[in-house]
Structure 1
Amino acid sequence: MYEQQHRPQDNNIEFWRKFVTEFFAPIAKKKWCVSMYGSGRQTTGVFPQDVWHCEICNRKPGRGFEATVEVLPRLFKIKYESGTLEELLYVDMPREYQNSSGQIILDYAKAIQESIFDQLRVVRDGQLRIVFSPDLKICSWEFCARRHEELIPRRLLIPQISQLGLAAQKYQVATQNASSNLFVASARQLGKALEVPLVNDLGYTKRYVRCLQISEVVNSMKDLIDYSRETGIGPMGLI
């Protein structure tokens, strides 16, 4: 998180490539699970894969998405290009253990991830599991979200509410057309302030989701791409 907060001003891709190389193993994956979201959230069709399994919640059918290490630099770059100013992570004490491969696993039963935008804060509540290699590089980063909230800063709402209150007072004193128009205009401004066009129903920006969807397509074709590279044979014959 410290490195992300001190990213260069131009948010260049080379910084993120070095960042991923330094902190992630060559086989690393990041996974986000939204299986525990209720039916009120539009999870269907956002990340369209036939089979999804989360080892944290074990919900069936499951819903989620993942990104391989090759995609992570671009994903980090797009995240901060899409309006994210800062990302915070709050965790409790983890349960630490090792698997048979010698990897170190940290399970956080309570984790809160907060994405800060200029006009919005998205707060996700869930569980986190991080798997480290013996040389302490991230092999797997899994966040299973129970829910999220979209919070609008008070500094944006207070002026709108004050203006609406002033318009209401004027409307009570005199029901002239100008006062009525002011009241309606103030109500509309407050309505616009309460709208959150930055993120979708899962709390992610459109560009971020689009990058993840492209990543899903590439991942589904990875075996075919590797086979073509190794054999020199493509879908239409010899390459």
Structure 2
Amino acid sequence: MLKPFGFLLPLCTLLACSVAHGQIFQRELGDFDLKLGTSPSRSMAQGLVKPSATGSFHGGLDLTHDSGFYFGQWSPSAGINPEHTLEIDSYAGFKQPFDQNLGYEIGVIHYSYPQLDTLDSQELYGGLTLLGSRFGAAFSNDPDKRNSTLFADLGGNEPFGIGISMKYTTHRLNTPVAVDGGFVSSFTDWSMKFSRPFMGIDLNLIYSDSSLNGSSCSAYSGHNSQCDGLLTLKAERSFY
């Protein structure tokens, strides 16, 4: 079980404001490469696998060895804003390219919520990088359910400068939830995001939905912000 590395990261997040692509401080320490920043420096370990609502103060650190092994922490929220609780995601993994066009990555993440009286959760992930695009899968054991996720980030194929990412997750509940007309023991949700930078602004168009609808939505506890279909337009700009 991967344990959080104390409270070093929350101290870093106090200096991080909400930005689209925050600055990343990078420095070599012998055979290690250290990164500190307000945006995730490792897309497979953060963002794609288990996206989380980002608070006003967020940030993280990442330490990578020349051999390909890495570990770090990422906090999507420092818990300063009452709307977001403190979350610390500690991860470790191995990433290795076969050549310039093909590579692989495997790792584990430990999610902890120091401000909440809830059990921590773990997640295994792995994937391939092909011609700049990423394809992978993740398996997690949350306190109330088990999740299996497939995802793709077509960063290497951007027609007209548009990035495309997709995610599909199956959730199996440990205890079925009673709804009108029966019980819900499992459900799926999915999302698709189109992104494009424009004059220093990061534009994102996101569509999300799930297999639940109507009264069954009372059992929803997936990755999306709501059970029913939702189309969201976000515009963010980095100020430093």
TM over 0.5: no
Q: Which has the higher strand share?
A: 2
Larger relative contact order (CA 8 Å, sep ≥ 6) = 1
- Structure index of larger Rg: 1
TM-score (norm 1): 0.31
TM-score (norm 2): 0.31
Q: Which has the higher helix share?
A: 1
